[in-house]
Structure 1
């Protein structure tokens, strides 16, 4: 038995629906966007050609010093300063972030004072301060406070060498910024996660290490990657205390031959190479810790450049992915 009043689907409706499904939707053409892109590319080519033909750059000097031994010596110092300062800043910053989230007013006050002091003064001032700390304390002593009893002492200039002073300045300054990044990451995790861990008998320290921090990494990694890249460039400031980094060695050379611009081009080339290399693990870590989030599947810069939605290549890729 069939219901005579039930609507019937005519073949024309089925055919029309099939034709609609077969339609190829073409996005709107953004001609203004293409015109702006062409203008930008032409301007970039013109700038590159002008720099290539500029005799004042002395490309022969750039070629002579690009792979010189003193440049590689400075690169080694720059790299280990970046790695050590970021390690010190991240470790100390994590401790300070936990202290700022503590219910203890003493821990909260001390950590807030640290962040206020090191984030509120310029990094260049901090580098100079640590470099000339011997003018404040000629001896580093360990003893009983407010007495003349001293157990051991060291000469300040012997302990705080330019490299150590640079590491302390960069690491402590980074700790102030890293603490805020880590604190924001911890607060982004649902408090119910920690409560569930505590209900299972996990200690607060274990909960923070095994439950909260792994989930907070998705929020921490992107800004911390930017901090690492920024730290690499900020190492150039330690040249004011002659820490023998890349910029220090560059300055020593152009102070003798007066080829300032060519040697700055050499420094810029190496900084660009190092920053580009650091961007690769940063992108991998963002994808690694961002798994499961909708925004973690974003395309790379090359894919966004050549795979925009309006290009035939992108439409062909989407069709192949849908098969």
Structure 2
């Protein structure tokens, strides 16, 4: 998905290229026996989309083949939905190197596209239900593959949420229990992070949310509430703390939300709905790469 401000790919850090290099190195740590069989003759291969979905992960796919001296010509745009079987791209270069990058490129594209597809699916469901605010992922991502998974959420139209422990301070039950109270935890987090780091607090009740806001929390997460309980709590908190005022918090809702149960949680008082269901355990989009002969 391209926003009014530019392509999502413009967000990627330069380090993604070294990450791609490490994937290639992992897949061929010594001799490329299969590549020896096919040799260096020039050739081309068709990237075929074999199951319906949204294309995401183009920069990673391109970088795999760029590092292997191949070129990629895309016939669909990133963020575009397609129906199978779709000729999505053409890869050109030495046949050995096309096959050297094949599995790494396909695995990354399939995973990223699956996340974008599921993210967009749930977002469209919520928009249809009247929800106008933010749908976000979580930090429950695959170690070493977070950048790709967060990228897929963005292409699907969702907010990736915090990227790591350094991005935003989220105080969960273990932080609160270990520090003694919500107020103590928030004050410590504010002192450590300063003005530039937002503080979010996971709350199990309205009373806990009030304590967090009073202490200076920027976001309160209402966790594992019932749909009715969420609507009541969010309305009460917004009423008590004001809309858009200096101390008005963002209200986030989370806790086991999926496309099967999320609609009853829709409320104009909820600023953020977060769920790992848009990226954790989602079905991959099926792609294959076929040498033209």
**Pairwise TM-score range, normalised by the shorter structure:** under 0.3
TM-score normalised by the chain length of structure 2:
0.26
TM-score (norm 1): 0.24
Structure (1 or 2) with the greater helix fraction: 1
